[in-house]
Chains A and B, each alone.
Chain A
């Protein structure tokens, strides 16, 4: 692969956005500030021919709070036949960052999924609804402080107490 070309691009972008660069197993990623992400993706699309947004996902580092979330991006260039990644670090339990839907339209689905699964809010997203879980679901399942499953066992002495907080339609 054209690794040198990728390294030049990454170095240029690192300079321009004052980002950190890291590499693992040949994959190059930049660590960006949340407010830079729209300008960054626009530069990738218009100046460096990264036509496809390959994925956008997140990792939760709970119980760490600063940063708690990494939003992970990956773009693919068909022309240069390469991939470049980026990470945006977000603090706190109800983070918020700019959306890149206007630059890459398929970010719509990815960002809806991130809102649904991690509770990361994307400003100016046109359609930020839950995508996988039902609309009235409480909580964000892929967060690390969200339990994997298991229902609380109701005994006769605490049946009503547990029933009150069980998430099902009552009446």
Chain B
């Protein structure tokens, strides 16, 4: 490849991107460096074009799309139920949260009822999912700061949660367990014991991570006063989730607009005012403790009853009815061949994912397939704050900043 000896750049290095770096880069006074897409600490396949002055980041241009899977386009070509399988693959650490958002959108579109037992199990499982997601975040975040052991502990605990998911849905990660109108089936007999076991097992473990990191001088120096984000800037950039709450703005959809029965549970939404990497770490640690509180409450008052709506136009009849009822056979046949047909219209439903506001925009044209699905994913919006956070910090800190935004490339690229 030809390299311009004056600027040390290949001729097309800045093709169409001159306006994103400073003039000094064009003159060759600063160094342009590609970080990723194959880089272990970019948490997936994120490419960052860095402009460096020595070791200091002058500009940082995120380049996304390496994990683009065209899920929105694919969903348009499948029936509503088949399309749900793809929701698991979006944010692969928040599978049940994606399922929940999607089925809630269908339920809103079709005006479906959901029995209380299904609601409670949904809350319980999505909170476990939040803990699992935060555990992956904590493990990798600590790993970025070169604390290897925390990673091993976190994944040990996460495995227990995934075992519970496997118990109820048959899958550790790609669950597709929530269905429009309720759940795929009721939880298995060992479920309550397994969750109760986890509820007593987990809080001491959080304390353990606390002891490893919270007052660890190396971790403190790596995270304190790194990546300060002003609340106004956060709002103007549409940042949500723990990032926004660490900037002192209390916004949690579970409290603000409770869905799926969150109003029944007693929990706190932690906020912080420091708005640096350390504050965001503290926030997410506290969120894990609050989630386990919700899990415990949901388990203690888990109502009995059906887990699926009785609306046969959307929910398949139980297997036992198929032998005795002609109507059930017809419904079964229609649902598994053509699928259900919600009324024409469009809805937007948002839930609080571990990363922020996860929304789905669903438009129906009165056919059996969704006409348009748009995922408003928190990572896609939050990643755009990265250049602002990174400016003026060292490259080594940038690694921690990627961690503190808690992006997931499956969620960014969709």
Interfacial residues, chain A to chain B (CB-CB below 8 A)? 1, 24-25, 27, 51-55, 57, 59-60, 72, 74, 76, 78, 81, 83, 85, 104-106, 108-109, 126-127, 129-135, 141-142, 148
8 closest Cβ pairs, A-B complex: A106-B238, A55-B376, A132-B65, A57-B374, A132-B68, A24-B345, A51-B235, A59-B372
Q: A131 to nearest B CB, angstroms?
A: 6
Q: List 20 interface pairs A-B (beta carbons < 8 Å), by A numbering.
A: A54-B238, A55-B348, A55-B359, A57-B372, A59-B371, A59-B372, A72-B346, A72-B361, A74-B348, A74-B361, A78-B256, A104-B236, A105-B238, A127-B19, A129-B17, A131-B65, A132-B65, A133-B65, A133-B68, A134-B65
Given contacts A133-B68, A135-B16, could you give 18 more A-B pairs where the C-beta distance is less than 8 Å? A25-B108, A25-B109, A55-B359, A55-B374, A57-B376, A74-B348, A74-B359, A74-B361, A81-B256, A83-B348, A104-B236, A109-B381, A126-B19, A127-B19, A129-B17, A130-B65, A132-B64, A132-B65
B251 at the interface (CB under 8 A from A): yes
Cα A142 to Cα B371 in complex, Å, equals: 11
* Given A51-B235, A132-B64: A81 in contact with B257 (beta carbons within 8 A): yes
Q: Which partner residue on chain A sits nearest B68 by CB separation?
A: A132
Per-position 1/0 for B365-408, Cβ under 8 A of A: 00000011010100011011000000000000000000000000
What B residues does A1 contact at CB under 8 A? Answer: 257
Closest A residue to B111 by beta carbon equals A25
Interfacial chain B residues near A76, Cβ < 8 Å: 357
The complex places the Cα of A148 from the Cα of B239 at a distance, in Å, of 32
Q: Nearest A residue to B70 by beta-carbon distance? A: A141
Q: Shortest distance in angstroms between A167's beta carbon and chain B's nearest beta carbon? A: 15
Contact of A129 among B16, B363, B380, B383 (CB under 8 A): B16
Check if B237 is an interface residue, CB within 8 A of chain A: yes
CA distance A60 to B76 in the complex (A): 12
Report the nearest B residue to A85, measured CB to CB: B348
B26 contact set on A, CB distance < 8 A: none
Q: Which residues of B contact A104 (CB under 8 A)?
A: 236, 238
Which residues of chain B are within 8 angstroms of A57 by Cβ–Cβ distance? 361, 372, 374, 376
B235, A142: Cβ atoms closer than 8 Å? no
> Chain B contacts of A83 at CB under 8 A?
348
Chain B: minimal CB distance from A20 (Å): 15
B48 at the interface (CB under 8 A from A): no
Residue B73 at the chain A interface, CB threshold 8 Å: yes
CB-CB under 8 A from B3, the residues of chain A are: none
1/0 contact string of B181-204 vs chain A (CB within 8 Å): 000000000000000000000000
B136 at the interface (CB under 8 A from A): no
Query: Are A131 and B73 closer than 8 Å at their CB atoms?
Result: no
Contact B348 A105 (CB under 8 A): no
- Asked if B73 and A106 make an inter-chain contact with CB atoms under 8 angstroms apart, the answer reads no
- Tell me the complex Cα distance, A85–B380, Å: 20
B72: which A residues are within 8 A, CB to CB? Answer: 142
Interface digits, B330-360 against A, CB 8 Å rule (1 contact, 0 not)? 0000000000000001111010000001010
B20 on the A face (CB < 8 A): yes
In contact, A108 and B372 (Cβ under 8 angstroms):
no
Are B19 and A105 in contact (CB-based, < 8 A)?
A: no
Q: Which residue of B lies closest to A75 (CB)?
A: B238
The residues of A that contact B329 with a CB separation of less than 8 Å are none
- Which of chain B's residues have a CB closer than 8 A to the CB of A52? 235, 238, 240
Residues of chain B within 8 A of A78, CB atoms compared: 235, 249, 251, 256
Q: How far is the CA of A135 from the CA of B376 in the complex (A)?
A: 23
Interface residues of B in 86-140 (CB under 8 A from A): 108-109, 111
In the complex the two chains form, what is the Cα distance from A133 to B65 in whole Å? 6
A126, closest chain B residue (CB): B19
CB contacts (< 8 Å) of B381 on chain A: these are 106, 109
In-complex Cβ contact of A59 among B108, B363, B380 (8 A) = B363
A134 CB, min distance to chain B CBs, angstroms: 8
CB distance from B36 to the nearest CB of A (A): 16
For B240, what are the chain A residues with a Cβ–Cβ distance below 8 Å?
A: 52
* B residues near A106, Cβ cutoff 8 Å: 236-239, 381, 384
Q: B287 contacts the other chain (Cβ, under 8 Å)?
A: no
B109 surroundings in chain A (CB, below 8 A): 25
Separation in Å of the B69 CB from the closest CB of chain A?
10
Q: Is B74 at the interface (CB under 8 A from chain A)?
A: yes
A122 to chain B, nearest CB (A): 16
Quote the shortest CB–CB distance from B12 to chain A (angstroms): 10
B347 adjacent to A24 (CB under 8 Å) = yes
B324 to chain A, nearest CB (A): 36
Interface members, chain B 8-55 (any A CB < 8 Å): 15-17, 19-20
Does B77 reach chain A (CB closer than 8 Å)? Answer: yes
Provide the bound-state CA to CA distance between A72 and B360, in Å.
13
Judged by a CB distance under 8 angstroms, whether B413 is at the interface is: yes
Instruction: Determine if B348 and A27 form an interchain contact, defined as CB atoms under 8 angstroms apart.
Output: yes
User: Closest chain B residue to A82 by CB distance?
Assistant: B257
- Min CB distance, B250 to chain A, in Å? 9
* Chain B contacts for A108, CB-based, 8 A: 384
**How far, in whole Å, are A59 and B380 apart by their CA atoms in the complex?**
19
A25-B108, A54-B238, A104-B236 given; A131·B345 CB < 8 A: no
By the criterion CB–CB under 8 Å, are B348 and A53 in contact? no
Expressed in whole angstroms, the Cα–Cα distance for A78 and B350 within the complex equals 14
With contacts A106-B237, A126-B19, A132-B64 taken as known, whether A148 is within 8 angstroms of B347 at the C-beta atoms is no
